[in-house]
Amino acid sequence: MADLTRLTAAELAAAVADGTASSVEVTEAHLARVEEVDEKVHAFLHVDREGALAQARAVDERRAAGERLGPLAGVPLALKDIFTTEGVPTTVGSKILEGWVPPYDATVTRRLKEAGVVILGKTNMDEFAMGSSTENSAYGPTGNPWDLTRIPGGSGGGSSASLASFQAPLAIGTDTGGSIRQPAAVTGTVGVKPTYGGVSRYGMVAFSSSLDQGGPCARTVLDAALLHEVIAGHDPLDSTSIDAPVPDVVAAARNGSVEGMRVGVVREFRGEGYQPGVIRRFDESVELLRELGAEVVEVSCPSFDLALAAYYLIAPSECSSNLARFDAMRYGLRIGDDGTRSAEEVTSLTREAGFGAEVKRRVMLGTYALSSGYYDAYYGSAQKVRTLVSRDFERAFADVDVLVSPTTPTTAFPIGERADDPMAMYRADLCTIPVNLAGNAAMSLPCGLADEDGLPVGLQIIAPAMADDRLYRVGSAVEAAFQARWGHPIIEEVPAL
In the list 36, 57, 284, 422, the residue contacting another protein (rule: CB under 8 A) is 422
> Rounded to the nearest 10 degrees, how much is the dihedral formed by the CA atoms of 91, 196, 104, 85?
-50
Q: Under a CB-based contact definition with an 8 Å cutoff, are residues 74 and 192 in contact?
A: no
Residue 422 CB-density burial (10 A; 0-12 exposed, 13-18 middle, 19+ buried): middle
Binding string, residues 131-170; x marks residues near another protein by CB under 8 A? ----------------------------------------
The DSSP-derived string for 402-437 is EEEEESSSSSPPBTTSSTT-HHHHHGGGTTTHHHHH
Instruction: Rule CB under 8 A: say whether 417 interacts with another protein.
Output: no
Q: Report CA-CA distances (Å) from 156 to 129, 145, 191, 426.
A: 7, 14, 10, 15
Active-site positions read 80, 155, 179
State which residue, 18 or 376, has the beta carbon closest to another protein: 376
In whole angstroms, how close is the CB of 265 to another protein at the nearest point? Answer: 24
How far is it, in rounded angstroms, from Cα 261 to Cα 477?
12
Q: Choose one: 23-31, 127-135, 336-344, 482-490; the region binding another protein (CB under 8 A).
A: 336-344
In the list 284, 348, 375, 453, the residue contacting another protein (rule: CB under 8 A) is 348
Q: Choose one: 153-161, 225-233, 287-295, 377-385; the region binding another protein (CB under 8 A).
A: 377-385
Q: Choose one: 159-167, 186-194, 276-284, 326-334; the region binding another protein (CB under 8 A).
A: 326-334
State which residue, 143 or 332, has the beta carbon closest to another protein: 332
Q: Choose one: 6-14, 28-36, 294-302, 319-327; the region binding another protein (CB under 8 A).
A: 319-327
State which residue, 251 or 357, has the beta carbon closest to another protein: 357
In the list 53, 58, 296, 349, the residue contacting another protein (rule: CB under 8 A) is 349
Q: What are phi and psi of 416, to 5 degrees?
A: 100, -20
How far is it, in rounded angstroms, from Cα 437 to Cα 462?
13
Dihedral over Cα of 100, 227, 220, 463: its sign = negative
Instruction: Rule CB under 8 A: say whether 376 interacts with another protein.
Output: yes
Q: Choose one: 25-33, 116-124, 365-373, 472-480; the region binding another protein (CB under 8 A).
A: 365-373
Instruction: Rule CB under 8 A: say whether 372 interacts with another protein.
Output: no
Instruction: Rule CB under 8 A: say whether 375 interacts with another protein.
Output: no
> Rounded to the nearest 10 degrees, how much is the dihedral formed by the CA atoms of 405, 408, 411, 417?
160
How far is it, in rounded angstroms, from Cα 142 to Cα 161?
7
In whole angstroms, how close is the CB of 75 to another protein at the nearest point? Answer: 30
Taking the chain, what is the end-to-end CA distance rounded to the nearest angstrom? 22
The 10 Å CB-count burial string (b at 16+, else e) for 226-258 is bbbbbbbbebeebeebbeeebbebbebbeebeb
State which residue, 297 or 343, has the beta carbon closest to another protein: 343
Q: Report CA-CA distances (Å) from 328 to 139, 335, 351, 353.
A: 20, 8, 8, 11
Instruction: Rule CB under 8 A: say whether 377 interacts with another protein.
Output: yes
In whole angstroms, how close is the CB of 408 to another protein at the nearest point? Answer: 19
Spatial CB neighbours of 333, under 8 Å, sequence gap ≥ 6: 95, 96, 97, 98, 350, 353, 354
Spatial CB neighbours of 264, under 8 Å, sequence gap ≥ 6: 296, 297, 298, 299, 396, 399, 400, 402, 403, 404
In whole angstroms, how close is the CB of 231 to another protein at the nearest point? Answer: 18
In the list 110, 111, 122, 351, the residue contacting another protein (rule: CB under 8 A) is 351
State which residue, 172 or 319, has the beta carbon closest to another protein: 319
Count residues contacting another protein (CB under 8 A)?
70
Coil, helix or strand at residue 284:
helix
Q: Choose one: 186-194, 359-367, 408-416, 452-460; the region binding another protein (CB under 8 A).
A: 359-367
Q: Under a CB-based contact definition with an 8 Å cutoff, are residues 475 and 445 in contact?
A: yes
Instruction: Rule CB under 8 A: say whether 240 interacts with another protein.
Output: yes
Instruction: Rule CB under 8 A: say whether 387 interacts with another protein.
Output: yes
State which residue, 290 or 384, has the beta carbon closest to another protein: 384
Q: Under a CB-based contact definition with an 8 Å cutoff, are residues 242 and 220 in contact?
A: no
Coil, helix or strand at residue 243:
coil
In the list 25, 36, 283, 327, the residue contacting another protein (rule: CB under 8 A) is 327
* Angle between helices 357-369 and 307-322 in degrees, nearest 10: 100
Cα 289 versus chain centre, distance: 25
Instruction: Rule CB under 8 A: say whether 89 interacts with another protein.
Output: no
Q: Choose one: 124-132, 264-272, 362-370, 410-418; the region binding another protein (CB under 8 A).
A: 362-370
Residue numbers 465-484 binding another protein by CB under 8 A: 465
In the list 310, 462, 471, 494, the residue contacting another protein (rule: CB under 8 A) is 310
Which residues are at the interface with another protein (CB under 8 A)?
A: 100-104, 196-197, 210, 236, 239-240, 242, 306, 309-310, 312-313, 320, 324, 327-334, 337, 339, 341-349, 351-352, 355, 357, 360-361, 363-365, 367-368, 371, 376-378, 380-388, 390, 422-423, 437-440, 465
